[in-house]
């Protein structure tokens, strides 16, 4: 069903992309309006654009600190999760172990559990261990939450690597672990990278645990920090729109750079090739 695209098609496409992007466009345009024009004004463009909202957004709350926290937590989660998950994916796809179905079933079940059902016991653990308001208190649950996704995607990539490569490595006297480290892992690098991006985005976006475990402003991550811009009495839309633009930029850059990889990762679970 591969058709050539006509004029009507491009018009449809432009409308579709516009609708999807509209909230971002509007939020961006609002963020560069002066305070007075935001309230009850539906003008697209302001005649006197300003960056005041950005200055104010960075001043009223430690936005850059939130971003640093999110970055550290997401990076640690990604590194550890990829190491642990690639071990499991390798063992399940390549090594002669039993109960593979059971292991994958457990992993799949773990991806389906609702976070709210484990939240209060984990909150108690983390409190007892003195890990409230720390990076580790979030990284430990995040690794576990991201494991199923990582194992699932990595195993689709590992299984595609031809067996012949391993056999020859074995003939050359490599141990199974050397085969994994020197042959499989490097060959699956694109898949590993794809998985890393998805795990990173998932950890960057997580809200429920971050909200509950790191309650001190110093340790808040971006999603939680931004939801605290609203105060009880006033809603500073200027600050909120500016903060939204600031935190969206890294995501847009990530997506623009790695869109192919992201799509490959997202679809690897659902499409048989």
Residues 133-172, interacting with other proteins (CB under 8 A): 140-141, 143-144, 147-148, 151-152, 155-156, 159
Distant-in-sequence, close-in-space partners of 170: CB < 8 Å, separation ≥ 6: 176, 179
Are 210 and 220 in contact by the 8 Å Cβ rule? The answer is yes
CB of 55 to other proteins, least distance (A): 19
30-49: which residues touch other proteins (CB under 8 A)? 30, 38-42
232-261: which residues touch other proteins (CB under 8 A)? 235, 237, 240-241, 244, 247-248, 251-252, 254-256, 259-260
8-27: which residues touch other proteins (CB under 8 A)? 9-10, 12-13, 16-17, 20-21, 23-24, 26-27
d(C-alpha 238, C-alpha 250), whole Å: 20
User: What separation, in Å, do the N-terminal and C-terminal C-alpha atoms of the chain show?
Assistant: 18
DSSP 174-241: --HHHIIIIIIHHHTHHHHHHHHHHHHHHHHH--HHHHHH--SGGG--HHHHHHTS--SS---HHHHH
Interface with other proteins (CB under 8 A), residue from 15, 177, 182, 218: 177
- In the numeric block, the tokens 């007892």 are attached to 128
Q: Does 212 bind other proteins (CB under 8 A)?
A: yes
Q: Does 59 bind other proteins (CB under 8 A)?
A: no
61-90: which residues touch other proteins (CB under 8 A)? 84-85, 87-88, 90
Q: Does 117 bind other proteins (CB under 8 A)?
A: yes
């Amino acid at each position: 069903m591969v058709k050539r695209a006509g004029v009507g098609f491009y018009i449809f496409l432009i409308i579709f992309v516009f609708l999807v992007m509209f909230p971002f466009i509007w939020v961006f345009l609002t963020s560069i309006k002066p305070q007075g024009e935001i309230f009850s004004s539906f003008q697209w463009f302001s005649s006197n654009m300003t960056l005041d909202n950005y200055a104010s957004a960075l001043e009223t709350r430690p936005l850059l600190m939130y971003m640093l926290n999110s970055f550290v937590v997401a990076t640690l989660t990604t590194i550890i999760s990829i190491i642990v998950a690639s071990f499991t994916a390798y063992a399940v796809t390549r090594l002669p172990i039993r109960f593979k179905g059971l292991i994958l079933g457990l992993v799949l079940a773990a991806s389906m559990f609702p976070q709210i059902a484990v939240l209060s016991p984990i909150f108690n653990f983390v409190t007892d261990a003195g890990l409230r308001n720390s990076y580790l208190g979030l990284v430990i649950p995040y690794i576990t939450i991201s494991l199923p996704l990582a194992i699932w995607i990595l195993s689709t990539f590992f299984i595609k690597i031809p067996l012949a490569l391993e056999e020859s490595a074995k003939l050359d006297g490599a141990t199974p672990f050397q085969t994994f480290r020197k042959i499989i892992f490097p060959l699956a690098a694109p898949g590993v990278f794809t998985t890393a991006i998805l795990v990173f985005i998932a950890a960057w976006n997580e809200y429920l645990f971050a909200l509950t475990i790191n309650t001190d402003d110093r340790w808040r991550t971006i999603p939680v920090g931004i939801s605290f811009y609203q105060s009880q009495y006033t809603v500073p839309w200027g600050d909120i729109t500016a903060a939204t633009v600031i935190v969206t930029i890294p995501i847009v850059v990530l997506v623009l750079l790695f869109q192919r990889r992201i799509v490959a990762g997202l679809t690897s679970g659902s499409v048989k090739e």
